[in-house]
Amino acid sequence: MILSLPYLFLSVITYNAIVFMTGTPFDTTVFQLPMMSGVTWTFTLADMLITGTLFLLFIEILKATRTSGKSLIDHALSTIVLIVCIIEFLVIPEAATSLFFLITLITLIDVIAGFSVTIRAARRDFAVGSNSF
């Protein structure tokens, strides 16, 4: 059951924890690196959250390749996370930011990719099964 939980929910929880519990601004510098071009690259808290969210999206897409009954639960929970993100973005003033919009967009991509990959895999499995006779 723990594998069916959408990992992108961790990004939403992290965003809410930072906004409501710590109040740390997302433009806080995490680290800086001097580049060969002579400029300094600044990696912010928002960059770190988006990077982590994209990594979680990758894991979610890998999970979508399963063709078991658990994938339906996974898709339903991912859709719920998307709905929660949309509602939070529209209703809660602290969530009406570009960062949270990108997190919401990534959850939308997760839902669409999850269903697409599952349908594609099911068609492949069905085609293999029907041609074997």
pLDDT 10s digits, 19-45 = 999 989 999 999 999 999 999 999 999
23 in a domain, yes or no? yes
Residue 130 has pLDDT above 80, yes or no: no
pTM: 0.85
Between 29 and 75, the more confident residue is 29
133 in a domain, yes or no? no
Domain count, the chain: 1
The residue-averaged pLDDT of 92-103 equals 96
32 in a domain, yes or no? yes
40 in a domain, yes or no? yes
Quick check: 27 and 76 in contact, CB under 8 A?
Answer: no
pLDDT cut 90: percent of the chain above it: 67
117 in a domain, yes or no? yes
Confidence at residue 133, expressed as pLDDT on a 0 to 100 scale:
46
Confidence at residue 70, expressed as pLDDT on a 0 to 100 scale:
74
106 in a domain, yes or no? yes
Confidence of residue 66 (pLDDT cuts 50, 70, 90): confident
- Range(s) of the domain holding residue 106: 2-128
For residue 86, what are its two tokens? 């949309």
88 in a domain, yes or no? yes
Helix-, strand-, coil-residue percentages of the chain, each rounded to 5: 70, 10, 20
For residue 97, what are its two tokens? 């930011």
Q: What is the DSSP letter of 17?
A: I
Residue 60 has pLDDT above 60, yes or no: yes
116 in a domain, yes or no? yes
